[in-house]
């Protein structure tokens, strides 16, 4: 009996190791395919609405859904690259202003600390070299990942179209491996995973839109330069839980410091950014996203770390909803229910619409 338990545990560990190896070495194929699956889940309601009542055929509705993804993502990429180009051009033109500001900060530091300008220059060179050595590999990895994602965008679109066209065929294929008495339960599980993927992505889109609106008001009030770039980047980066919001709030503060904000403006701007981040993290995400993901914060962090190790930047985005789908599968698999419970997050009112939650709070 004891030997049997050890053998079974070894089989589980070997299976997990094989899965991780397959995810790592098959990333070039699995990453675009997984993006396509989630995008297909996001636009699935639109596709089914087009097909309902004979409005369009399956082929045309699938093409329209894929085209919507192409337009949406393409416009985001276009505006981001355009705003980035304007920013780089502005940096080149305002180089003298930035350097003058830097020299004035050096003089203030010399008065406060007693370090001469030469000593500060040497300390700065040493610090910059250390930072560059540490971050070079990470930056290279991120840029390579982003470039790879852009190059794979066409492949993602092809996958989206084929998944939508062949969705019924995939369902029949899965049912061939399921016992007749469990087919209805399997359909319910697949439906739940699709709903979770759709609601997670749609919830993220809602959070991004609300966050972008708050940033627009704040940046306009402070007359912050390159508002468009900061809003686009700040909203998009929040798709990475915990890490994204921190970066989203830090970069606008750095922009205000670099482009000559006064001490009072920097302090007040930082306080408002912190308030927005608290609203995003503790109000918007729990209300809009939390009830859909139903995942423990501990395992969200583990999903981010594991995804970054295996799939790089794409894994930071994809592994959180993938863990949510795993939770559903564990909840409906005999013997794996405790794992599903461990992955989950006990939250009162889970499953309610976020608008209903806000109404309930006002009724108290």
Is the separation of the CB atoms in 58 and 88 below 8 Å?
A: no
Based on the fold, state whether residues 62 and 208 are members of the same structural domain. Answer: no
Among 146, 165, 184, give the residue marking a domain's end.
Answer: 165
User: 355: domain range?
Assistant: 195-364
Domain boundary among 147, 165, 183: 165
Tokens, residue 21? 């190896």
Alpha carbon of residue 78 to chain centroid: 19
Same domain, 157 and 199: no
Verify that 295 and 238 share a domain, yes or no. yes
How many structural domains does the chain have? 2
Taking the complete model, does pTM exceed 0.85, yes or no? no
Residue at 260 is within a domain: yes
Within this chain, do residues 240 and 340 fall inside the same structural domain, yes or no? yes
CB-CB contact of 178 with 314 (8 Å): no
Q: Tell me what pLDDT residue 226 has.
A: 82
Q: Specify the residue for token string 């930035």.
A: 98
Say yes or no: 78 and 151 in one domain: yes
* Number of Cα atoms under 13 Å in the Cβ half of residue 285: 19
DSSP E strand boundaries for 188-244? none
CA dihedral 242, 341, 321, 247 (to 10 degrees): 0
Residue 315 domain flag: yes
Residue numbers in the chain where pLDDT is lower than 70: 1-5, 8-9, 53-54, 91-150, 260, 289-295, 345-364
pLDDT in the model for residue 153: 86
180 in any annotated domain: no
* Structural domain contains residue 23: yes
Residues 330, 236 share a domain: yes
Cα→Cα distances 297→194, 302, 342, Å: 22, 9, 11
Whether residues 355 and 242 fall in one domain: yes
Q: What integer pLDDT is reported at residue 352 of this predicted model?
A: 52
Total residues belonging to the chain? 364
């Amino acid at each position: 009996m004891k030997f049997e338990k050890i053998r079974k545990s070894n089989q589980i560990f070997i299976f997990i190791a094989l899965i991780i190896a397959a995810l790592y070495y098959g990333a070039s194929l699995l990453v675009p395919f997984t993006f396509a699956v989630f995008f297909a889940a996001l636009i699935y309601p639109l596709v089914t609405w087009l097909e309902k009542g004979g409005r369009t055929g399956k082929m045309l509705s699938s093409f329209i859904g894929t085209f919507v993804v192409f337009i949406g993502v393409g416009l985001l990429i276009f505006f981001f690259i355009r705003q980035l180009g304007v920013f780089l051009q502005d940096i080149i033109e305002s180089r003298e202003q930035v350097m003058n500001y830097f020299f004035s900060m050096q003089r203030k530091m010399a008065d406060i600390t007693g370090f001469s300008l030469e000593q500060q220059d040497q300390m700065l060179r040493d610090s910059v070299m250390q930072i560059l050595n540490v971050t070079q590999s990470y930056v290279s990895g991120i840029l390579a990942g982003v470039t790879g994602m852009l190059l794979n965008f066409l492949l993602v679109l092809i996958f989206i179209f084929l998944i939508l066209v062949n969705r019924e065929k995939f369902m029949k294929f899965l049912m061939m491996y399921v016992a007749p008495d469990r087919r209805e339960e399997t359909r319910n599980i697949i439906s739940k995973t699709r709903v979770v993927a759709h609601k997670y992505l749609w919830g993220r889109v809602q959070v991004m839109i609300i966050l972008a609106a708050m940033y627009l008001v704040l940046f306009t009030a402070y007359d912050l330069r390159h508002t468009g770039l900061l809003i686009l980047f700040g909203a998009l980066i929040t798709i990475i839980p915990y890490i994204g919001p921190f970066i989203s709030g830090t970069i606008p503060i750095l922009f205000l410091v670099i482009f000559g904000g006064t001490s009072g403006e920097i302090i007040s701007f930082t306080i408002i950014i912190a308030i927005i981040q608290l609203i995003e993290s503790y109000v918007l995400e729990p209300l809009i996203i939390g009830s859909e993901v139903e995942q423990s914060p501990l395992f969200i962090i583990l999903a981010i770390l594991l995804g970054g190790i295996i799939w790089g930047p794409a894994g930071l985005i994809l592994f959180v909803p993938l863990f949510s789908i795993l939770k559903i599968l564990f909840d409906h698999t005999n013997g794996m229910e405790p794992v599903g419970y461990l992955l989950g997050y006990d939250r009162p009112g889970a499953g309610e619409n976020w608008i209903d939650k806000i109404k309930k709070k006002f009724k108290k």
